[in-house]
Amino acid sequence: MKKYINIALFSSLILFGSCSKDFLDRPMENTAPAETVDYTDLSLMYQPVSGVYRTASKGAPGFIHWIDVAMRAVRGDDLDKGSTESDQSGLDEIKRFRNNASVQAFWGLNNCWTDYYGVAFFANEALLELDKFAEHIPAGDETNRALNNRYKAEVRFIRAFAHLIVSRVFGDVPILVDNAVINEVEKSTVEQVRQFIIDEMNESADALEDAIPRNAQHVGSVTKYSALLLKAKAASDIAKNDNGSPYWDIVLDATEQIIASNKLRLYDDFYELFKMPGKMSTESLYEMQYSDFGNSSGTDVRPAEFFAFQGPSGNQQGSPVAGWGFMKPSQKIIDFLTERGDDIRLKTTVLYAGANPSTFVETSSGDKVYGNTNGQIHFNGKAYLPANQMTPGRTAYGSDNNVRVFRYSDALLLNAEAKIRKGQNGDAPLNIVRERVDLNPITGATLTDVLDERRAEFACEWWGERYNDLLRTGMAETVLADYGFTSAAQYLPVPQIQKDLNPNLQ
């Protein structure tokens, strides 16, 4: 009897154990399968776009990682590496156009490549997400369809900007519009990349909001005029020094549209333009936004070490205005600004420090900047955020400040340049830029005047503008001669690991 009870017990246990079918078949814990996005809820449609903005404003991937910033800007003659000689000496090799094994082995090389392409990757995914939302827009709902197109255009702007940046550093690079072929994609030439940007902006500009970013529906998002400026910049890169190039027409047309809209105005105070009062001003056409939410503690959304790496080195006696000392304004730019009497720009571009650790220089905003044992007395002034503008309680340098990318003055100066190159009068836009910093207006402006103004206006910024201007105007050979410029080394080599992973990049 007990034997049969035992057998019955055993068999029932077996059956019990194997009966629940979904014991093995459940989704993984703590993940949100992509399928859970409700594409029918069109109020969620901006979310993928917001995600791309956030990705772009981060470091890895993103546009503001400190080594990436240094790598794209250091080749201009407005910036020296800064800090001590042996600190990130690879940057000096890059500055001296030595594309040798040492540069190949530099850790920042692959870093900046993957950071930019990471943004392009996520932008492509966001576009696919927007397509999925688009499938659920009812026929006849023009409002939502227009919004969907506008959102796609915003993402395409960021993707195009990523390609602009990566091509400025590496030259011939692949255009990534389809993530499925990421392992095989081939290289495109510099011209093809710029043409891609122009084409993208042609398709996007009208879909974007006709407002300035400051007044956009999502405050700070890119708008029609941001796209036009990007298009103009790409066109100027193709046009180069050829005054007869049809691309100068594109530049002229795009910048004329921006100016004619009458929506943009230069911010009056150039010094404060880069500080708290100048955040998302009427001049801004694209800005990376950050926030400390006005709180003295808690979350602080910041661009990683972007500000810290440019802050003044040495013992700053507890002041938040401190950092690692990179991105130092060069003696050349200081001399240039001094000679042309450009005081406001000089005061904005350069942050002066004491001659040694016990002496200090007080800035016009009331911060005492002490010296350091290295003897470096100049630091990047455009990254400077005065302590009295910071939210009380915050100690991170640059907390709550934005990173300026595109400004209206760029459109004005490109407009002036295009006009002069086409034999027209370029005085009006040039003088708007000059008057903002209390410089005397010029009549009968020449190309040199415009190019000098560009040099002064964008000195020591973070997008490689000066180096790009020298390359496209053919001035690099002379101006950068003492750094050893050769056109063979004008771009950095594609990182070895990328060539290993995708032989089409050889």
SS3 34: helix
Site for another protein in 444-483 (CB under 8 A): none
Least Cβ distance, residue 434 to another protein (angstroms):
24
- 378 close to 321: Cβ distance less than 8 angstroms: no
Nearest residue to 105 via CA among 493, 465, 504: 493
Tokens of 137: 């827009």
Binding of another protein by 310 (CB under 8 A): no
Q: Which part of the chain contacts another protein (CB under 8 A), choosing from 171-179, 232-240, 256-264, 406-414?
A: 171-179
Least Cβ distance, residue 319 to another protein (angstroms):
8
Least Cβ distance, residue 317 to another protein (angstroms):
6
What span, in angstroms and rounded, lies between the C-alpha atoms of 387 and 397?
Answer: 8
Please select the residue that binds another protein; options are 221, 223, 236, 363, rule is CB under 8 A.
221
- 208 close to 227: Cβ distance less than 8 angstroms: yes
Site for another protein in 78-117 (CB under 8 A): 83-90, 93, 98, 100-107, 110-111, 113-115, 117
Name the phi and psi angles at 378, rounded to 5. -115, 135
Binding of another protein by 297 (CB under 8 A): yes
Total residues at the site for another protein (CB under 8 A)?
128
Binding of another protein by 42 (CB under 8 A): no
Binding of another protein by 61 (CB under 8 A): yes
Name the phi and psi angles at 196, rounded to 5. -55, -45
Least Cβ distance, residue 255 to another protein (angstroms):
25
Q: Which part of the chain contacts another protein (CB under 8 A), choosing from 223-231, 232-240, 468-476, 498-506?
A: 498-506
Alpha carbon of residue 88 to chain centroid? 22
What span, in angstroms and rounded, lies between the C-alpha atoms of 195 and 126?
Answer: 22
Nearer to another protein, 275 or 419 (CB): 275
Interface characters, 180-199, with another protein (x: CB under 8 A): --xx-x--------------
Site for another protein in 355-394 (CB under 8 A): 357, 372-374, 389, 391, 393
Number of Cβ atoms within 10 Å of the Cβ of 66:
23
Least Cβ distance, residue 40 to another protein (angstroms):
16
Name the phi and psi angles at 340, rounded to 5. -90, 5
Nearer to another protein, 195 or 391 (CB): 391
Site for another protein in 414-443 (CB under 8 A): none
Angle at 322 between CA 317 and CA 323, to 5 degrees: 135
Sequence-separated (6 or more) residues with CB below 8 Å from residue 260: none
Element (H, E) at 194: helix 190-204
Binding of another protein by 51 (CB under 8 A): yes
Least Cβ distance, residue 181 to another protein (angstroms):
10
Tokens of 238: 């193709």
